[in-house]
Amino acid sequence: MDFTYSGSGKIQFCGCSLIDSAFFITYLYSVGDVLCVCKQASQHGKIEKICIKRVEFVSDSFGITVVNYKDTFNRVWIEDELCTLEDGIELAEIYLEKQIALMRERECC
């Protein structure tokens, strides 16, 4: 037996859909964390403690999202400028050790 079938016409598909997208942004510090300003600890030996009051997300014209942290004095910081309190203390100690070594070199010569 041989079956052959040929068809003609058209098929139409219709419908609508809703696109739902979610963006997940990870960040290092949360509200209430006590942090230290890394630059002052490493370059001046000072430990400036700050407390995070708000985490804000800012998108630029290229679509890159930057995480900004606002402290209790309403200063705005980015993640690269902050470190944990333990890391800040360690950076300040390293700075002070270098300064002591430089003072001893100057005294000897």
Tell me which of 35 and 1 has the higher pLDDT: 35
> pLDDT higher for 92 or 1?
92
Write down the pTM of the prediction: 0.69
Integer Cα distance of 42 and 38 in angstroms: 6
Around 44, how many Cα atoms within 13 Å sit in the side-chain half-sphere?
8
Rounded CA-CA distance 41/47 in Å is 5
Residues whose CB falls within 8 Å of the CB of residue 28, separated by 6 or more in sequence, listed in order: 79, 82
Mean pLDDT of all residues in 96-101: 92
Express the helix, strand and coil content of the chain in percent, nearest 5 each: 30, 25, 45
CB 55 within 8 A of CB 63: no
Instruction: Write out pLDDT tens, residues 9-34.
Output: 777 767 777 777 777 888 899 999 99
Per-residue confidence (pLDDT) for residue 20, from 0 to 100:
75
Mind listing the pLDDT tens digit for each residue in 33-70? 999 999 888 888 889 999 999 999 988 888 888 899 99
Nearest by Cα to 49 from 7, 92, 11: 92
